[in-house]
Structure 1
Amino acid sequence: MNYRHAFHAGNFADLVKHAALLWLLKQMQAPGDALRVIDTHGGSGLYDLRGPEAGRSGEAQAGILRLMAQDDPAPLMKPLIAAVRAANKHGETVLYPGSPWLIARALRPGDTYGVFEMQPDEHRRLGRLLAGRAGVETWCADGFAGAAAVLAPGARHLVLVDPPFERADDYVRAADLAGTVLARDGGACVLIWLPLKDLHTLDVFVRDLEDACDGAPVLIAEARMRPLDDPMKMNGCALALVNGPAGQVQALEEICQAVTAPSPAGKAQVWMAG
């Protein structure tokens, strides 16, 4: 696969995913309980918005750069804004932190984080970024194949599944992994990010996920930037949250509405599957 997240860093989909991730981390860090986070597709973890990839796509302009310029952002977007400011020590927003940077920064003593990245050059950069962080381990391997094997007995689990969706079977593998994780830890929380192109693909994925999760509650949060009438384009993005904590509907509604609001055809909707 030749996917590079640097082309898309800081776009609208990252805002949805990372604002939701930060909210979820906070909810799951209950006093006295160790949290173990597993990330199936980590990327390099920190992206230069001045680089040729980000410059070629221009997606950050309508994403994180627009958010950083807002005078009154939605409350649940503020933790992401604070994290981006922390990654940019000199004021100007030139770096965008990916999920590995955000998760590693949020860990408490006793929490652990395991992250997979199967592209060797991306994994090398990721390893350098996270070097010396307590409780953090990286693997240059397929996260779909390895994530369930690194769950820790007795820990609370949050599994982030964020593949590039360049392969048609990424949807099936994401649903299957959620089922495998729950078979080993029925209380695990699984957050899956996916692109929104057309309703048929989303409907098939949700049915597969429900079957794989065997009765566990599944929430779907959609951030539509334009109508879903061209399956060749990413018309929005969605999150599938399995075993989400209390307040999940309201939180994801706020996040999706905040991200879609600038788009004239934008639409946010959050619903429980089943």
Structure 2
Amino acid sequence: MNYRHSFHAGNFADVVKHALVLWLLKTRQVAGPVTVLDTHAGAGLYDLAGDATRSREAEAGIARLMSADARPPLIEALAAEVAALNRSGDMRWYPGSPMLVARNLRPDDRYAGFEISGDVASLLVDSLKRYPNATGRPGDGYKAVLSEAASVSAPLVLIDPPFEQPDDYVRAAETTLAILKSAPKATVAIWTPIKDMETFDGFLRRLGPAGPTVVAEARLRPLLNPMKMNGCAMVVVNPPEGTDEAAVEICGWVVEHLGEQGGRSEIWRL
């Protein structure tokens, strides 16, 4: 699968991912300073008038969210972040995880995001220049977060690969297990597409020894065509208290308001 962030910015999967990332950050901040590590940071900020016009997925994702009434709190939190970047009301800019996190860092918090594509890494560095506690760096995020996590007692780690490489599922699982070996109190949040259950189940089996894990699925449609991204999941290892309820609110809203007939949300634990 090819899931380049710039082509899919603002789609339903971003809504699920970013609403939950915001909640995880805010929840972890209650306990003290937070270090956020991001394996596949992307550009940080996306112009919806650019690559995203080719997929038009933002029209069925964040654009519909912004025009919806009676948004629940965790969806409203994401809407507020998007609105703050689009004060003219034009809905041109969409924040990726780096920008969402950077905008919400406190003086003792920090963010380090990694991006293996040189051109995209340059955009990442540029997008974070105004945030002193946030840095973007070129490099293989799978490797980089391992060394970073070893020096932090309880990082929040985001793993969100584009699934261009055939070993992304394997590396995501192996990286998670390696992080938890050196930082047992880390919370690791992994985003994955859902095209077919065989691939997804295989990934979850690899995570078996990881420990307490919440699996939050948002399926927009039945899994009838494995060539489509029929849904997505956020898999949260070492979830903070309240993760199940947060995921129910987010995934349930996305499926109800952005999904098709036969869609469903399902929150469960490994």
Same fold per superposition (TM over 0.5): yes
**Can you list the C-alpha shifts for 1:93-142, whole angstroms capped at 9, x where unaligned?**
11111001001111111111110001111111111111142222222101
Deviation at 1:87, TM superposition (A): 1.1
User: What corresponds to 2:30 in structure 1?
Assistant: 30
Amino acid aligned to 2:34: L
Q: Mapping of 1:163-202 within 5 angstroms?
A: 163-202=161-200
User: What corresponds to 1:12 in structure 2?
Assistant: 12
Amino acid aligned to 1:6: S
Q: Aligned partners of 1:174, 1:255: CA distance in 2, in Å?
A: 23
Q: TM-score, normalised by structure 1?
A: 0.94
User: What corresponds to 1:232 in structure 2?
Assistant: 227
1:217 aligns with 2:212: yes
Amino acid aligned to 1:266: G
1:42 aligns with 2:41: yes
Q: Aligned partners of 2:178, 2:194: CA distance in 1, in Å?
A: 24
> Are residues 256 and 2 of structure 1, via their aligned partners in 2, closer, same or farther at CA, if it must alter by over 3 Å?
closer
1:125 aligns with 2:110: no
User: Secondary structure, in 3 states, of the residue corresponding to 2:99?
Assistant: helix
User: What corresponds to 2:157 in structure 1?
Assistant: 159
Q: Aligned partners of 1:166, 1:101: CA distance in 2, in Å?
A: 23
Identify the match of residue 264 of structure 1 among 252, 261, 266.
Answer: 261
Q: Aligned partners of 2:136, 2:182: CA distance in 1, in Å?
A: 21
User: What corresponds to 1:64 in structure 2?
Assistant: 62
Amino acid aligned to 1:26: K
User: Secondary structure, in 3 states, of the residue corresponding to 2:59?
Assistant: coil
- Name whichever of 72-81 and 146-155 sits farther off: 146-155
1:113 aligns with 2:111: yes
- Name whichever of 153-162 and 219-228 sits farther off: 153-162
* TM-align CA RMSD: 1.5
User: Secondary structure, in 3 states, of the residue corresponding to 1:139?
Assistant: strand
- Structure 1: gaps (5+ residues): none
User: Secondary structure, in 3 states, of the residue corresponding to 1:195?
Assistant: strand
Deviation at 1:156, TM superposition (A): 2.9
Deviation at 1:150, TM superposition (A): 1.0
User: What corresponds to 1:89 in structure 2?
Assistant: 87
Q: TM-score, normalised by structure 2?
A: 0.95
Q: Aligned partners of 2:150, 2:109: CA distance in 1, in Å?
A: 11
- Report if aligned partners of 1:188, 1:243 keep a CA contact under 8 Å in 2: yes
User: Secondary structure, in 3 states, of the residue corresponding to 1:115?
Assistant: strand
Q: Aligned partners of 1:48, 1:178: CA distance in 2, in Å?
A: 31
Q: Aligned partners of 2:109, 2:87: CA distance in 1, in Å?
A: 26
User: Secondary structure, in 3 states, of the residue corresponding to 1:168?
Assistant: coil
User: Secondary structure, in 3 states, of the residue corresponding to 2:84?
Assistant: helix
Matched pairs, number: 268
Deviation at 1:154, TM superposition (A): 5.1
Q: Aligned partners of 2:33, 2:146: CA distance in 1, in Å?
A: 18
- Structure 2: gaps (5+ residues): none
Amino acid aligned to 2:245: Q
- Report if aligned partners of 1:114, 1:137 keep a CA contact under 8 Å in 2: yes
Q: Aligned partners of 2:186, 2:200: CA distance in 1, in Å?
A: 23
- Report if aligned partners of 1:46, 1:96 keep a CA contact under 8 Å in 2: yes
